Structure 1
Amino acid sequence: MASLPAREEYRPLLQENPVFANLSPSAYARVLENATLATYATDVFLTHQGDPAHAFYILTYGRAKLLQAAPEGQQVLLRYIVAGQEFGIIAALGAYQYPLSVQAVEPCGALIWPGARLADLIRRYPQIGLNGLEVMVMRNQELQRRYQELLTTRVEQRLAQALVRLAEQIGRPQTGGILIDIPLTRADLAEYTGTTLFSVSRILRTWETQGLVESGRERVVVRDSAALAELSDLDGVSFMGCALACGR
């Protein structure tokens, strides 16, 4: 892990992150002076659920997945994060534990603020504290929605919702569809939808014969985005816009 000078190359990353929004130029310089930079290989865990929350992270490149162990022992994949997104804001509050595990799905880099340094920055720049509180509320609401989905929707609908969401967040338009641009196995989709590998495989095979998706080893392409959005029963306005741009 290396010390990080206040380099301009990372300032846009901070300005676009909700935790550090609306700060002065001098504040951004101070925030960067207090950060360190680390890199992680594929499959390495950046944090573990239940460990002391010692630091706050913003990805600088790469992608990672947020995992949570359910009370019955099943691991649930809650969401993916990409460059510019954060996790671990709870570290600013002191003696708390990480509520989630974060695992790299490809090589990643991250800006890191130890909890004590982040707390000092909040005291110096109260806007960071207000931003952080808003982010914590927003993330908590996201988790509540995810658990509501797991409890109240059918497996087919959850899988369609997952593919719609991933296509919106990290999809890459290509000829004939939208590539979900991360290594994505059927086991990942089972964790993401709270179901079994068998169920995911069965549903994907059906959808492949219907022309909705194409799946391979760690690869999923959404072929018929309109049909998938209808199955998901989500408000897919932006997704549909992407689908239209892809020729649907």
Structure 2
Amino acid sequence: MPLSAPIPLNLTNLKQRTFSCHDLLPLHSDSLWKIERGVVRTLTCSEEGKSIVLGFWGPGDVVGKPLSRLEPYQIECLTSAEVSLLPSNLWYQFMDAWISHAQESEELLSIVHNRPVNLRLLQLLNWLARKFGREVEGGKLIELPLTHQALSEVICTTRVTVTRLLNQFEQEGILNRRGRFLILGRQKQHLKI
């Protein structure tokens, strides 16, 4: 008797939860979170206690402890977020999200290992603009509440260096500010990363 393909389960019955900005998503060894709305970041920390950003994730992405062997491991909401709990028997339906997770993690790892630091920051901003940006007059608006400290943690530098480089990028016309958010100019989005 031939094996039949698994019958897709009704995904509308998934348990959904809403979290506020800065909340930590609970970790489960047998389930993942699918992000429906909002942005989260995954983190660990060094032996010295410094935060290490592992990635930024938005709608359609999956995150959770089963995707990492790191200890400690956290999932922090950067905005309010609505997420669905995915038990392990549904994971096969999200293979595209798993592949995307691996590819984006590798991109960030590649960015972190580039020299000099101004190139790392520019590549990070390009990556964030591609993943989370929306077209506005003048470029792509990155509507993420990222502090200079948070950006510095991603690219392994100091907050002071990020502040100096953002000011330099603004003077050079690479980016503009809209309130707390950055607009990456169109002319710089085509840079090869």
TM-score, normalised with respect to structure 1: 0.64
- 2:178, 2:159 → 1: CA distance? 14
- 1:178, 1:42 → 2: CA distance? 23
Per the alignment, residue 131 of structure 2 pairs with 169
Q: Flag the 1:171–1:129 CA change in 2: closer, same or farther, 3 A.
A: closer
Q: Flag the 1:130–1:160 CA change in 2: closer, same or farther, 3 A.
A: closer
Residue type of the alignment partner of 1:85: D
- Asked if the contact 2:40–2:81 (Cα under 8 Å) also holds between the matched residues in 1, the reply is yes
How much is the aligned-residue C-alpha RMSD, in angstroms? 3.1
Give matches, 1:35-46, under 5 Å. 35-46=14-25
Unaligned 5+ segments in structure 2 are none
- 1:155, 1:59 → 2: CA distance? 31
* 1:158-179 CA distance string (max 9 Å, x none): 1011111111111111112211
* 1:178-222 CA distance string (max 9 Å, x none): 111222222221122221110000011111111111236531111
Residue type of the alignment partner of 1:213: L
TM-score, normalised with respect to structure 2: 0.80
Pairing partner for 1:135 from 90, 98, 110: 98
Amino-acid identity (%) = 21
- Asked if the contact 2:62–2:101 (Cα under 8 Å) also holds between the matched residues in 1, the reply is no
Give matches, 1:145-156, under 5 Å. 145-156=107-118
- Work out whether 1:108 is the aligned partner of 2:81: yes
Residue type of the alignment partner of 1:64: V
* 1:98-151 CA distance string (max 9 Å, x none): 76321111111111134xxx24x56xxxxx18938x927x64554344334323
Q: Flag the 1:217–1:189 CA change in 2: closer, same or farther, 3 A.
A: farther
Deviating more after overlay: 199-208 vs 75-84: 75-84
Residue type of the alignment partner of 1:107: S
- 1:140, 1:158 → 2: CA distance? 20
Q: Flag the 1:70–1:108 CA change in 2: closer, same or farther, 3 A.
A: same
Q: Flag the 1:212–1:149 CA change in 2: closer, same or farther, 3 A.
A: closer
Higher Rg: 1
- 2:47, 2:103 → 1: CA distance? 20
How many residue pairs get aligned? The number is 188
Unaligned 5+ segments in structure 1 are 1-22, 123-127, 235-248
- 2:94, 2:168 → 1: CA distance? 47
Give matches, 1:206-225, under 5 Å. 206-215=168-177, 218-223=180-185, 225=186
- 2:86, 2:28 → 1: CA distance? 14
Per the alignment, residue 182 of structure 1 pairs with 144
- Asked if the contact 1:183–1:218 (Cα under 8 Å) also holds between the matched residues in 2, the reply is yes
- Asked if the contact 2:139–2:184 (Cα under 8 Å) also holds between the matched residues in 1, the reply is yes
Residue type of the alignment partner of 2:165: I
